[in-house]
């Protein structure tokens, strides 16, 4: 494992960088990477829709997430087109070990505030990790076209990560958001250490 890079910590706040071997694995199975990526974009869109349904009375959430649904769906279509162009198949969605492990950390039951906070921070974290992985792909892949392709996604997900943090701060004290975010970062680093290095999980 390489030491923490400055931008992994500073830009994304993530505790643990993606294993550098991951890009090589990713390059080896482009169909897996693109297919998984497509499904992840779709899941991002679906999650934003369900957050809008759940928090219909929080105007900032509804206003901010409505265009994100369109954007994530646009990402899904872009990746789908890329698969098609290359004669690769979407296939069925895989079990998402990463997200399933993160879901274990989400507060269930009890007062609304901590649950809302975890809903926002879970999304922020998934976006931050996607952004980091897109950055790796945009720097590490052999294919210049794909490097550029992933650079666009990287920029987009970086904006999403901060948006979810801002939404949490719109309704909750900054200190509360910050404290829980640090717990999430620590937990996510632990999750990454326990998962196998695979080439598919990307968003």
Contacts to Fe ion by CB under 5 A: 41, 44, 72, 75, 127, 157, 160
**What span, in angstroms and rounded, lies between the C-alpha atoms of 172 and 35?**
37
**Nearer to Fe ion among residue 28 and residue 46 (C-beta):** 46
- What's the min distance (Å) between Cβ of 71 and Fe ion? 7
Show Cβ contacts of residue 104 under 8 Å, excluding neighbours closer than 6 positions: none
**What span, in angstroms and rounded, lies between the C-alpha atoms of 63 and 96?**
29
Please spell the DSSP secondary structure of 147-177, one letter per residue.
HHHHHHHHHHHHHHHHHHHHHHHHHS-HHHH
**What span, in angstroms and rounded, lies between the C-alpha atoms of 196 and 88?**
24
- What's the min distance (Å) between Cβ of 109 and Fe ion? 28
**Nearer to Fe ion among residue 70 and residue 100 (C-beta):** 70
Let me know: does 9 contact 47? Beta carbons within 8 Å: no
- What's the min distance (Å) between Cβ of 40 and Fe ion? 8
**Nearer to Fe ion among residue 15 and residue 157 (C-beta):** 157
**Nearer to Fe ion among residue 69 and residue 176 (C-beta):** 69
- What's the min distance (Å) between Cβ of 203 and Fe ion? 6
């Amino acid at each position: 494992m390489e030491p923490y890079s400055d931008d992994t910590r500073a830009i994304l706040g993530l505790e643990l960088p993606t294993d550098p071997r991951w890009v090589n694995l990713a390059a080896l199975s482009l169909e897996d990477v693109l297919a998984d990526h497509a499904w992840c974009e779709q899941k991002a869109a679906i999650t934003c829709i369900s957050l809008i349904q759940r928090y219909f009375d929080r105007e900032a959430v509804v206003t901010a997430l409505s265009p994100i649904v369109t954007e994530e769906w646009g990402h899904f279509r872009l990746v789908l087109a890329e698969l098609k162009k290359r004669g690769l198949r979407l296939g069925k969605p895989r079990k998402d070990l990463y997200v399933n492990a993160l879901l274990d950390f989400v507060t269930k039951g009890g007062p609304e505030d901590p649950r809302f906070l975890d809903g926002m921070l879970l999304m922020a974290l998934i976006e931050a990790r996607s952004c980091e992985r897109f950055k790796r792909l945009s720097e590490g892949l052999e294919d210049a076209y794909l490097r550029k392709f992933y650079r666009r996604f990287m920029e987009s997900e970086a904006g999403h990560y901060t948006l979810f943090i801002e939404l949490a701060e719109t309704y909750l004290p900054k200190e509360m958001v910050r404290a829980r975010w640090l717990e999430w970062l620590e937990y996510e680093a632990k999750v990454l250490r326990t998962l196998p290095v695979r080439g598919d999980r990307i968003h």
